[in-house]
Amino acid sequence: MDAFQAASDELLLLGTRLRDEIALAVMYDRYGALVYTLALRIVQDRGLAESVMHDVFLRCWRGEVRYVPSYGSASAWLFGMTRALALDTARERQSGAGSPVAGGEQSHPEWESSLPERGEAVVLRAMVGEALTVLSQSEREAVELAYYGGMTQQQIADRLGQPPSAIGTRIRDGMRLLCQALAPVVATTVVNGSGAS
């Protein structure tokens, strides 16, 4: 198990695809909470978020999806899949019945962390959290509606009652600010990504 803990994400993904339960479990320990957090932010419902999360990992398990290094890091790939599945789920539900449940619920009280968060995740969390504070409220809102809401600029403009050009500007400025703030991480990630190919 310790060896698994030290294994790279890519290797764990491979192990998962090859139906190695321990690889799956370690993968979950590493990214389950992050995947869940992302899914919850998008679908705004704990039950649905959990099923999205399960879906993400089970797709890896069944080998339906394969990680391609050219996409970027394995975690980025996981997040991309999570976002896509969660957006699908959210749209499905919206077209069906019910309205979005308000977010911001507390964590499950019975949850307790059994694993310390990995050093990289801690660092990235701090970096991204700080980078987001650089954005103005409206810039952040536009970026988040695009990413977590899966909305186009036009849809965001309609929703906020703003001209599309203004939304475009906010997204552009916001993304550029993020890019600057995250430059050290992003540059390194690029190095890692290209090293894989």
Residues 100-159 that bind other proteins (CB under 8 A): 107-108, 110-113, 116, 119-129, 131-132, 143, 146-147, 150-154, 156
Q: Residue 23: how many CB atoms within 10 A of its CB?
A: 21
Of residues 19-38, those binding other proteins (CB under 8 A):
19-25, 28-29, 32-34, 36-38
Asked if 48 is part of the footprint of other proteins (rule: CB under 8 A), the reply reads: no
The number of angstroms, rounded, from the C-alpha of 99 to the middle of its chain's C-alpha atoms is 23
In the bound complex, what is the minimum distance in angstroms from residue 155's beta carbon to other proteins? 8
97 vs 108 by CB, closer to other proteins = 108
Q: How far apart are CA 193 and CA 197, in angstroms?
A: 7
* Tokens of residue 136, six digits: 């103005």
Report DSSP state, residue 63: T
* Number of residues forming the site for other proteins (CB under 8 A): 103
Contact 44, 131 (CB under 8 A): no
Of residues 56-95, those binding other proteins (CB under 8 A):
57-58, 61-63, 66-67, 69, 72-76, 79-80, 82
101 vs 175 by CB, closer to other proteins = 175
In the bound complex, what is the minimum distance in angstroms from residue 47's beta carbon to other proteins? 9
The number of angstroms, rounded, from the C-alpha of 169 to the middle of its chain's C-alpha atoms is 24
Q: How far apart are CA 159 and CA 2, in angstroms?
A: 49
Asked if 178 is part of the footprint of other proteins (rule: CB under 8 A), the reply reads: yes
Output the CA torsion 51→129→67→65 (10° steps): 20
Report DSSP state, residue 96: S
Contact residue for other proteins among 49, 81, 85, 90 (CB under 8 A): 49
